[in-house]
Amino acid sequence: MPTPYGGSYLRCMWLRILALVYDPFLWLGEHRGMRRRRSTLLEDAVGRVVEIGAGTGLNVEHYPDAVADLVLVEPDPAMRRRLAHRLRRRTRAGRIVDSPAEHLPLPDASVDTVVSTLVLCTVDEPERALREIARVLRPDGQLLFIEHVRASSRFLAACQDHLFEPWRRFAGGCRCNRPTVELMRVCGFEVTADNVEWRGMPAIVRPLVVGRATLVTAG
Ligand SMILES: C[S@@+](CC[C@H](N)C(=O)[O-])C[C@H]1O[C@@H](n2cnc3c(N)ncnc32)[C@H](O)[C@@H]1O
């Protein structure tokens, strides 16, 4: 029997549990700065917005009125159920789409803002996802992001390498040592980002990069 987006039954059951415990697991981090960080980042969201890997919808309450159309992309069915529940409780309208970031069902150059918070660590094919984001963005569009990335401290990076596999299994596919900003540049983005600490979360998911990426125009 097929399972949601191709996983084993054990993995699917674990993903259902993760969706249940996701908000409580992040609670401390949200209260120690992450919630404010989401809000500040999303002040710049405008026009047609596509959020990839929207999860349980922790960003939903922060979208400003300048957002004309909100598309929330999420491939995990358990996450989508919680996302739909959160969207119903808020006044903000949004459309939930079942899709991975690697295959966005959207026309070329049709999106003003793509949002990715804590997602590019988890997608299976980050370069493919970034090229897909570049495809759907208008030439003057933007990618707003908060991502945890490979540490610059040699000690912490070595811990991330060492704990990569157990963490990936525990955290639903999260790769704690991924150099996401470098990947953005490789995929044709110009990136402005700050490194900050994700307070209230394990050191393995530090640092966070918070910023904006735009398409490098030829010539
Ligand atoms: C750590 S959660 C982040 C959720 C939310 N963005 C947030 O800020 O709380 C990672 C999310 O990425 C989703 N995800 C996993 N693989 C994905 C893919 N290939 N494309 C898009 N989203 C994906 C997961 O289902 C999960 O909801």
Mean pLDDT of 72-101: 94
Mention every residue, 6+ apart, whose C-beta is less than 8 A from residue 29: 198, 199, 200, 201
Tell the residue nearest (CA) to atom 25 of ligand 1: 76
pLDDT band at 219 (very low <50, low <70, confident <90, very high): low
The answer, yes or no, to whether the previous bond of 207 is cis (omega within 30 of 0) is yes
Q: Could you give the percent of the chain with pLDDT greater than 90?
A: 89
Give the residue whose CA is nearest to atom 26 of ligand 1: 55
CB-CB contact of 23 with 81 (8 Å): no
Question: How many angstroms does the Cα of residue 219 sit away from the middle of ligand 1?
Answer: 34
Under a CB-based contact definition with an 8 Å cutoff, are residues 65 and 132 in contact? no
Task: Give 23 Cα–ligand 1 centroid separation in angstroms.
Answer: 13
pLDDT of residue 7: 66
The pLDDT confidence band at residue 36, using thresholds 50, 70 and 90, is very high
Beta carbon of 53 within 6 Å of any ligand 1 atom? yes
Determine the atom of ligand 1 nearest the C-alpha atom of 59: 8
For the segment 89-105, the average pLDDT, to the nearest whole number, is 93
pTM of the complete model: 0.95
| DSSP 8-state symbol, 30 | I
Q: What's the CA-to-centroid distance between 190 and ligand 1, angstroms? A: 23
Cα of 141 vs centre of ligand 1, distance in Å, is: 21
Contact criterion met (CB below 8 Å) for 113 and 141? yes
Half-sphere exposure of 185 (CA within 13 A, CB side): 6
Q: Return the ligand 1 atom nearest residue 174 CA.
A: 1
Cβ count within 10 A of residue 56: 20
pLDDT of residue 91: 75
Per-residue pLDDT tens for 116-151?
999 999 999 999 999 999 999 999 999 999 999 999
> CB of 148 within 8 A of CB of 205?
yes
175 with 121: CB under 8 angstroms?
Answer: yes
Residue 101: phi, psi to the nearest 5? -65, -20
Q: State how far the Cα of 111 lies from the Cα of 206, in Å rounded to an integer.
A: 30
Residue found under tokens 């530090």? 206
**Ligand 1 mean position, distance from CA 16 (Å):** 13
Q: What does DSSP say about strands 208-215 and 189-196: parallel, antiparallel, or unpaired?
A: antiparallel
Query: Where are the alpha helices (H) located in the chain, listed in sequence order?
Result: 9-29, 35-42, 77-89, 126-136, 154-162, 164-170, 180-186
